Amino acid sequence: MIVEVFPNTNALSRAVAERFVASARVALAERDAFYVALGGGKTPRKAYELLASDPYRGQIDWRKVHVFFGDERNVPTTDPESNEGMAREAFLDSVPIPSANIHGMYNGERAEEAAAAYERILKSFFAPTGYTFDLAHLGVGPDGHTASLFPRAGTLQETRWVAPAETEMLAVRERITLTPAVLCRSRGIVFEVAGADKANIIRQIIDAKADYPAGVVARCVENSVWMLDEAAAALTAATR
Ligand code: 6PG
């Protein structure tokens, strides 16, 4: 587990965009394709906007990129809560990626059907064993969730690759989420975390190795990288 700290969110976002490009170049050179699972929430937006701008935009052969999502609410992509909508607005609609290569999670079905359909899509790209995503770009909530894998939820033990999120205990919209069954076979995972409200959970996950979902996922792959701004890294000793 690597921990990188950046002075502010602009530096963090640039570093995330650079790591995205570097991961893509390796995958394209080695396998002529780049399979990436995008994070949701607010944090990734700046890095995604950079990917649609120079110099990053021209550094990737977008025709060979396939974009998936870590989780999604059952809302139209025009809804402000849509992770796909955020990614499209930030960069996907501004780079020459074939529309068929953008694999949205919901098409109006209920969570169970959407999860089963998405798992079929993933399994049409990834073999039953071996690696899945070249890069999974995830965030962390103040409660230690990642994607829509919430603390004390059964989804952490799911054998399905995609499952309805357990949101009963939370006042949040119906969602589906990638599970560790598919995330833990990624070649690399980047957790992009910013803000003082994440400092305590970062300390618990990185220093105390607490078993929050983000920590479970971070520790299940060799190449997991925590990319933090100074505010989120304020309480962890890992970078001192
Ligand atoms: C989502 C994300 C979720 C997010 C964290 C952090 O759909 O909301 O998958 O896991 O990464 O909640 O969100 P912020 O970046 O907005 O703090």
| Residue from 12, 71, 162, 192 to probe ligand 1 pocket by mutation (most atoms less than 8 Å from CB) | 71
Quick one: tokens of 83?
Answer: 């992770």
DSSP-assigned letter for residue 175: E
Nearest-CA residue for ligand 1 atom 11 is: 139
CATH code at 220? 3.40.50.1360
Phi, psi of 218 (to 5 degrees): -60, -35
Q: Which helix (H) or strand (E) holds 66?
A: strand 65-69
Produce one character per residue of 24-53: b if its CB has 16 or more CB atoms within 10 Å, e if not: beebbeeeebbbbbbbbbebbbbbbbbbbe
pLDDT in tens, 130-156: 999 999 999 999 999 999 999 998 989
Report yes or no: 155 and 209 within 8 Å, Cβ to Cβ: no
If you compute the radius of gyration of the chain from its CA atoms, what whole number of angstroms results?
16
Question: Which range of residues forms the domain containing residue 217?
Answer: 2-239
pLDDT in tens, 7-32: 999 999 999 999 999 999 999 999 99
Provide the residue type at 75 as one letter. Answer: V
* The pLDDT value given to residue 169: 67
Number of domains in the chain: 1
Quick one: tokens of 59?
Answer: 């550094």
pLDDT band of residue 1 (cuts 50, 70, 90) is: confident
Q: Which helix (H) or strand (E) holds 10?
A: helix 9-31
| Residue from 74, 146, 189 to probe ligand 1 pocket by mutation (most atoms less than 8 Å from CB) | 146
pLDDT in tens, 86-118: 999 999 999 999 999 999 998 889 999 999 999
Name the β-bridge partners of 192.
227
